[in-house]
Amino acid sequence: LFLLILQFNLAGTPAPSSIQAVVTTANPILFVTQFPIRADFTTIGAVFGNHQSGMYDVGRGGDLWIRFGDGTLKNLTQAAGYGSTGVNGFQDHNAIAVRDPSIYWDGTKALFSMVIGAPEQQYMWETYYWQIYEVTGLGNNQTPVITKVPNQPANFNNISPIYGTDDRIIFTTDRPRNGAAHLYPQLDEYEEAPTVSGLWSLDPATGNLFMMNHAP
């Protein structure tokens, strides 16, 4: 993340002290970086159908970051041991993409979605899924720990997680309403493109899962 603050004089040109080295904020900022995908139809940057996890849908190489109030940055996924460290940035089976960070009420942890893996060679076809993870250890002097949320739908794309007021996790997923394989993928009514099935609620401790609304 690069922040440049430019101060312009009356003539419209940058003032001599226009570039500020550090911009402080009252609170830390949690954010993700993503590899850009040029296509915008049912890809990661699209308004609809952006839940898919294939190589044509979302590039690998992004991370979960935190920017502290004093302007310092920490790559949380890298510090927790996630992501590819291949030669010249090659994205291998350890490659990741991340999205949708959401902070817990007291600021001590956060949810986000992550997909892990990329083909090792050309013409290799593999199936990947967005899954929900939780990160703790967000302090400047702490080592972040990332754990996969238990009891979530395993072979579906689970995205946009948030904490409920009762500590359940609310999220969207492309799991069909009853999990039946012959109903997968759910298709939207306009383009007949893959879509999420609606809002779901999960108790990670017990595995209790239910659909809040069916909205393909």
Q: Which of 211, 189, 214 is nearest to 201 (CA)?
A: 211
In the predicted structure, residue 120 carries a pLDDT above the cut 90: no
What is the pLDDT, as a whole number, of residue 92? 81
Place of tokens 């990332």: 146
In this structure, of 20-24, 57-61, 173-177, 206-210, the range with the lowest mean pLDDT score is: 20-24
Q: Mean pLDDT over residues 85-112, rounded?
A: 88
What is the pLDDT, as a whole number, of residue 17? 54
What is the pLDDT, as a whole number, of residue 46? 93
Confidence of residue 3 (pLDDT cuts 50, 70, 90): very low
Please answer whether residues 198 and 212 qualify as being in contact, where contact means their C-beta atoms are separated by less than 8 angstroms.
yes
Other CB atoms closer than 10 Å to residue 202's CB: what's the count?
24
Query: What is the DSSP secondary structure assignment for residue 54, as one 8-state letter?
Result: S
Percentage of the residues of the chain whose pLDDT score is greater than 90 = 74
User: Alpha-carbon distance 179 to 83, whole Å?
Assistant: 30
Task: Look up residue 200 and give its two tokens.
Answer: 């779901």
